[in-house]
Amino acid sequence: MYIDTHAHLDFDAFDEDRDAVIQRAIENDLIAIITIGTSVETSRKAVELAESYAPIFAAVGIHPSDCQEATEADYHEIEKLSRHEKVVAIGEIGLDYYKMYTEKPTQMAAFKRQIALARSVNLPIIVHNREAHEDVYQTLIKEKATEVGGVLHSFSGDADFLKRVLETNFFISFTGGVTFKNTRGADELVKQTPVERLLLETDSPFITPAPHRGKRNEPSFVVFTARKIAELKELPVTELAARTTDNAKHLFALNV
């Protein structure tokens, strides 16, 4: 059994066949999907999906690329949504120094504020990190995010950054990118990540794994990422599935 810990099922890429996508996930042995908010609007939609489908849970938060226009009312709404019974994390939050849709000070303020929210409601965080490794790490430590833990999703960074993150209580997740031929060292990062700190994710509709690369990604494709990670870890895929599922249940307090 698998858990996709990071998908964006509210995105319009799924508007024409969302029910079928969710059904395919169930048929491919997924017992839970966490659909992730990136703004107030998408966080509301994530909660609505979680209310509508038993296997779906929600994370709510404001993405670093979406926080430029965030208002006080938006943050209050995220706090309100965070108390919903099917909300299991605050996210997707963090820092993005690659696209820079938002100035660094605004990103940092939003990141710190939402870490504080996570601590106040005792929920883990789902961290977006793109070319902001040192600032992400230092903020997690200084803002005491380790009190609630979380996951660095779609992990990027080098072996040294991975080592430092693993010294905290944060989990690591890899996307379908690990199935690509040119993985830029991702294979070694997977090998260096202990199974007890691994989670599975699709980040669908993005980063579709081989053999479906070029198509829209969806939660059922998490099995292809799992197979590649199991190969790299020299484990039966059934064992990897069981252990990553246990990890997800533990981190997000999932009763599935």
What is the DSSP pairing of strand 150-152 with strand 125-130?
Answer: parallel
* Res. 158 pLDDT band, cuts 50 70 90: very high
* Average confidence score pLDDT of the chain: 97
* pLDDT, tens digit (0-9, with 9 covering 90-100), for 15-44: 999 999 999 999 999 999 999 999 999 999
In the predicted model, is pLDDT for residue 122 greater than 90?
yes
* pLDDT, tens digit (0-9, with 9 covering 90-100), for 205-241: 999 999 999 999 999 999 999 999 999 999 999 999 9
Report the top-level CATH class of 2-252: alpha beta
Whether the Cβ atoms of residue 40 and residue 78 lie closer than 8 Å to each other: yes
Average pLDDT over residues 91-101: 95
In the predicted model, is pLDDT for residue 178 greater than 80?
yes
- List the beta strands (DSSP E) in 10-137: 30-36, 56-60, 87-96, 125-130
Question: Which run of H or of E encompasses 244?
Answer: helix 237-252
In the predicted model, is pLDDT for residue 137 greater than 80?
yes
Asked if omega into 211 is within 30° of 0 (cis), the reply is yes
* pLDDT, tens digit (0-9, with 9 covering 90-100), for 77-92: 999 999 999 999 999 9
Instruction: Report yes or no on whether pTM surpasses 0.95.
Output: yes
In the predicted model, is pLDDT for residue 99 greater than 90?
no
Asked if omega into 205 is within 30° of 0 (cis), the reply is yes
